[in-house]
Amino acid sequence: MHLSPHEQEKMLIYVAADVAAKRRADSVQLNYPEVVALISVHIMEGARRGTPVLDLAESGARLFTPGELMEGVFEMVSDLQVEATFPDGSKLCTIRKLVDRSLVGIHSSVPCSGSARKGE
């Protein structure tokens, strides 16, 4: 099987997300690469199902509580951009910063955005 560099990168992200999901299920605090991998897969899988880019940015920003992450990681995640393939083409999904999911409903503003870019 021959994979392009882009396909290899996606596969690496999925493997990292799988490891991170297992650690999270075992209540192990996650590091920065694990958090990025889980958010990236959340966005890529949602895109494949046709979830709107803004909905994915909002839900991706709210995947974690600070206690689930190693010290300082919650604050480190900012301006995370994931390019995903939606039914109508590739789009760039940006998460400006994480939002503590335990506070969902308390804060009305969501620090995320979505933008469209022509498919590859």
**pLDDT recorded at residue 100:** 87
Assign 3-state DSSP to the chain and report helix, strand, coil percentages, each to 5: 50, 20, 30
**pLDDT recorded at residue 48:** 96
15: nearest Cα among 80, 7, 49: 7
What's domain 5-116's architecture? 2-Layer Sandwich (3.30)
Instruction: Please state the domain extents for the chain.
Output: 5-116
- Quote the radius of gyration of the chain (alpha carbons, Å): 14
Give the residues of the chain that fall short of pLDDT 70: 104-120
Q: How far apart are CA 105 and CA 99, in angstroms?
A: 11
**pLDDT recorded at residue 112:** 42
Cβ neighbours of residue 92 closer than 8 Å, sequence gap 6 or more: 81, 82, 83, 114, 115, 116, 117
**pLDDT recorded at residue 105:** 57
**pLDDT recorded at residue 109:** 40
